[in-house]
Structure 1
Amino acid sequence: MALLNFLFPPSLFITATSLASFTSLASAGLSEFRGKNLEYSKFFNVASKASDAEKSNKLTLPSRIAMATLYTPAFLAGVSSFAIFPEENLRLLLLKSAISIHFFKRVLESCFVHKYSGEMGVDTMITVLSSYFISSALMIFNQHLTITLPEPAIDLKSPGILLFLLGITGNFYHHLLLSKLRSQGPGKEYKIPKGGLFGVVVCPHYLFEVLIFWGFAFISQTLFSFAYAMGTTCYLLGRSYASRRWYLSKFDDFPRNVKSMIPFLF
């Protein structure tokens, strides 16, 4: 089978977890397309049909605390894996390092870069936190299961490292641009993003985040990592589509030629 030139042979466990990961993320992306958005960032309470009384009783946290919290377990999964799986294997070392670096960056950005306009529901925080933590832990564990297996015929580690570095750099740069749109202090101040790739897509930070996860997949070359990258792509396509729809409803002068996430295509 030609696919096995690129992947380690999947076990039943890897196949099952891969299917579950892709299905859950793809379903979340479809929900975003349909307008049922996870309630964080600009979508906090936008799509909710709950009554005002129900909303007032909803348990929430300040967005800065919630965002930093939801990335921390995945970061700890990456860091702790150095002690749990200390095998001298370059592929596993690269994957553990990339996951740890990515989520450490996200924690730092949540604390020191992003500016926030509201709160996040604890239920949403737990949903996203669980997804990142379980998927990161499974990606590392599934990689551990390949230690004794022969390497795939086609080695994708080098392009994976390049994708990861491009993704993490572009993601940080566009997060920095977004942070400069708002003044200091509280308030729901929104502007049309400019600079970088914002002139061609609404969510270039999502585009580069997708590259990060495909970097993981190329470094790892397990079925799970590819399923996770594909599922993440589906989810962020849906989220970016919802973001574009939100900007079009919010700003009369929003440029219609700006796509959602993929320049000139989508």
Structure 2
Amino acid sequence: MEMVTRFVYPPPPSILLNGMSAVGLVALAKIGWSEVTGNHLKYSKFAASSTSTAKPQKQPLGSISSRNGMLWLYTPAFLAASASFFVLPSDDLRFLLLKAALALHFFKRVFEVLFIHKYSGGMAVDSAIVISSSYFSSTVLMLYSQNLTLGLTEPSFDMKLAGIVMFVVGIVGNLYHHVLLAKLRSDDGKKEYKIPKGGLFDIIICPHYLFEILVFWSFFLISQTIYSFSFAMGTMFYLIGRSYATRTWYLSKFDDFPKHVKALIPFVF
């Protein structure tokens, strides 16, 4: 335990946070494995797909437009992060950095939905509920967990600066590759897919996921709480599964998909 507390604050006196740290990690890892086995969260290119036949699938609740669905995913978390400046006022630098990082990340996602992404098709309502709830609850719990650290002794290793650097790299890299993806789509709403090119797309098919993983790990480095570690780990597991499924999808749709292009980690996976 002494070694652990050099890097993170001690476990908070909260059954809710400690329980959600474990439950959230397991749930996200399970969803990531479901992506690998073909039971996808139904948005983007997987909006209407599920290739697994291991057991009957539940009937979907319906669908909404991709644009509205994406707004649904990120807006509650953005509002929660923004409200935290007023609901949980504090002059603690670490807490202020976490609030700012969360608010900026989800503001960027809302901005992309409104002004960058191009859409075709829809999003399953049940998938939108799952993802939106995950982002909102994790944001609230990260902030609540940080609030409980106020007044405690800081971890021996201060990783705030590394977290800030990782956050900037992650958010800029994610935005850049989202712009490249948007340029592949026509403006007429026609549903079409092309093999992405440029940036890290030349060596991995999901660089936007790689940089998103960096963003969530930056939240942990800034906050250094057990809950933020748990959620970063769970998000990484989910996006590993999603990137694997994405590469498999491209291989099935494009005969000329370059085999050297990996899913998430250049030259490795």
TM-score, with structure 1 as normaliser: 0.95
* 1:254 positional shift: 0.2
Q: Say whether 1:221 aligns with 2:224.
A: yes
RMSD value over aligned CA atoms?
Answer: 1.5
Q: Distance in 1 between matches of 2:265 and 2:18?
A: 29
Match of 1:139 among 138, 142, 145: 142
Q: Distance in 2 between matches of 1:27 and 1:197?
A: 28
Q: Say whether 1:90 aligns with 2:93.
A: yes
Specify the alignment match of 1:81 in structure 2.
Answer: 84
CA distances 1:13-45 after superposition (whole Å, capped 9, x unpaired): 332221111111111111111111100000011
For the residue of structure 2 that corresponds to 1:66, the secondary structure is helix
Specify the alignment match of 2:235 in structure 1.
Answer: 232
Unaligned runs of 5+ in 2: none
One-letter identity of the residue aligned with 1:2: M
Shifted more, 16-25 versus 130-139: the winner is 16-25
* 1:11 positional shift: 2.4
Specify the alignment match of 1:117 in structure 2.
Answer: 120
Superposed, 1:135-214 pairs within 5 Å as 135-214=138-217
Unaligned runs of 5+ in 1: none
For the residue of structure 2 that corresponds to 1:198, the secondary structure is helix
CA distances 1:196-252 after superposition (whole Å, capped 9, x unpaired): 000110100000000000100000000000111010000000000000000000000
Contact 2:18–2:227 (CA<8 Å) still a contact in 1? yes
* 1:101 positional shift: 0.3
Q: Distance in 1 between matches of 2:245 and 2:62?
A: 24
For the residue of structure 2 that corresponds to 1:231, the secondary structure is helix
Specify the alignment match of 1:99 in structure 2.
Answer: 102
CA distances 1:152-199 after superposition (whole Å, capped 9, x unpaired): 000000000000000000000000000000111122110000000001
For the residue of structure 1 that corresponds to 2:179, the secondary structure is helix
Q: Distance in 2 between matches of 1:4 and 1:44?
A: 42
One-letter identity of the residue aligned with 2:25: F
Contact 2:12–2:145 (CA<8 Å) still a contact in 1? no
One-letter identity of the residue aligned with 1:184: D
* 1:87 positional shift: 1.4
Q: Distance in 2 between matches of 1:172 and 1:44?
A: 22
For the residue of structure 2 that corresponds to 1:11, the secondary structure is coil
Q: Distance in 1 between matches of 2:13 and 2:40?
A: 33
Structure 1's consecutive aligned runs of 4 or more residues displaced over 4 angstroms after TM superposition are 48-51
* 1:79 positional shift: 0.4
For the residue of structure 1 that corresponds to 2:149, the secondary structure is coil
Specify the alignment match of 1:9 in structure 2.
Answer: 10
Residue identity over aligned pairs, in percent, reads: 53
* 1:12 positional shift: 5.0
Q: Distance in 1 between matches of 2:238 and 2:146?
A: 23
Q: Say whether 1:252 aligns with 2:255.
A: yes
- Going from structure 1 to structure 2, the CA distance change for 1:25 and 1:12 (only over 3 Å counts) comes to farther
Q: Distance in 1 between matches of 2:106 and 2:146?
A: 18
